[in-house]
Amino acid sequence: MSELSKLSGKKIQTGLICLLVYYFIVNLLSLRLPFFWGDAIVQSSIAAQWYYDNNFSYFFLPIADNPGHPPFFGMYLAVWWKLFGQSLVVSHLAMLPFLLGIAWQFFHIAHYFLNDKFLFFGLILFALEPTILAQSTMVSPELPILFLFLLGLRSVLYKLKFWQTLAMCLIVLLNTRGIMLVVVIFLSEWLLNFTSLNARFWKKDNISPIQKIILLFKSIFQLIPKYIPAGLVALIWLFVHYFIEGWIGFNRENMPWRNSFIPVSGMGYVRNFAIFGWRLLDFGRIFMWLILAFLFAKILFSKTLSKNISQDKKLFGILALLFPPILVFFPIMIRYIGTLQHRYLLPFFALFVILVAYSLQLYFQEKRQWKWINLFMIIMSVGLISGHFWVYPDKVSQGWEASLSHLSYFQVRNKTNDYVFKNKLTKEKIATGSPNKYLLKHSDLINIPGKYQDIDEVKYDTLPYLIYSNIFNDFADSTYDDIHSRWILEKEFYSGKIRMSLFKNPDL
């Protein structure tokens, strides 16, 4: 091995080590953070609490807390509690293997496409990606889901059949969304094979159009056996759940989050389409999109680069990984009122940074103008960091779990709870929204009695008090207008961009 190769290898290892250390530090700094956001609390803390309290005597969760997903993530967390004690620290440490796994898998995927120097740029953008970073501070099933998805893709790229099969089987046992991600992996693998097939056969004159179509379908059917184990696991789970519970996916009549699955119609699709587009640009990603558009415009107007781009196998490989998450999730996300969640797009966000880094590599591969490269990286990095300070007006629903802007919520919530306790107000007579509606036993693992009323489950105007925060997304505009115009503001607390207000009913 040459000295140059040894030096290059050391730099690559340094990049991997830095990413692993980075996520270790993120986990270390998050050890005291309570569980956050409704879905994460239900699928992690509440589920784990059920298995922990009942010593795994039951397999299915109670109907009120059953989101329709396989319960193994809650079981996993409960096992950690049984072994090391029930605490926030242990809960976050249980996420550390997945965080390190995410870093490991992403590094190898990025290294597959990026050369040594631009690999570091990809790692920097990945480390700063707002939604991935925000989720990395939480105890959330999104972390093992993202890890297994990246493991599946890495296995596709590096021809690791066993690990791909294992990843796909496990991901469908974590979340029903895992079934969709298996479809994403299938489409990505087929597109990767199709680009290779296209290069070898598609342009040959001695192959007829019918033969080309046959080759196309053959390339699809050749992949199917590899996906049979994951498909069987998914079918078994769906059958068992339906046999025991009588429903699959979601039970709109009983589940607390049923309003999220109300279908839209007419202009609702247009609105959701626009929101979906903004999710891709949100929290500073717009800067990456702008620079990506600028670089590709420059490439297309360059005779040399535009000629090379049409034959760039790595670029087509990245696009083969990038498009399937959109193709699979877009139709589902715009179908319902409450499914436009940033976290559903974590696979896209992870892969998008590779495309952005590769666009830098593609444009600057022959002319290493480091001043321009560094300038673009500074703009994108500052843009992504700024995303954690993006807060929208109250009536605009925001993905608070998708950036670090939510961190100050815990401080204002604690101040509000202290005020309620000191003034001897009864929690059961106060309406509030998510995630404040959950027991502290489930959010903070503190067994303090008393639970606020869920704004979605009660007539708020029959209660003497109401707690509102701009972090709540479950307040109707009419409710917001009513309490801010008629109700009496008794106390308000601020921290960062978050505020929490205690209103008194003027009619009681």
The pLDDT of residue 4 is: 40
DSSP H stretches of helix in 137-223: 142-157, 161-172, 177-197, 209-221
Model pTM score: 0.94
Q: Collapsing DSSP states into helix, strand and coil, what is residue 488?
A: strand
Average pLDDT over residues 448-471: 94
Q: Which residue type sits at 59?
A: F
Highest mean pLDDT among 7-16, 96-105, 114-123: 96-105
Q: CB of 181 within 8 A of CB of 214?
A: no
Please give the structure tokens belonging to residue 250. 């979601």
pLDDT digits (tens, 9 = 90+) for 194-242: 776 655 555 555 666 676 677 777 778 889 999 999 999 999 999 998 8
Which range among 14-18, 211-215, 290-294, 469-473 shows the weakest confidence by mean pLDDT? 211-215
Positive or negative, the Cα torsion across 479, 482, 488, 490?
A: positive
Higher pLDDT, 61 or 308: 61
pLDDT surpasses 60 at 108: yes
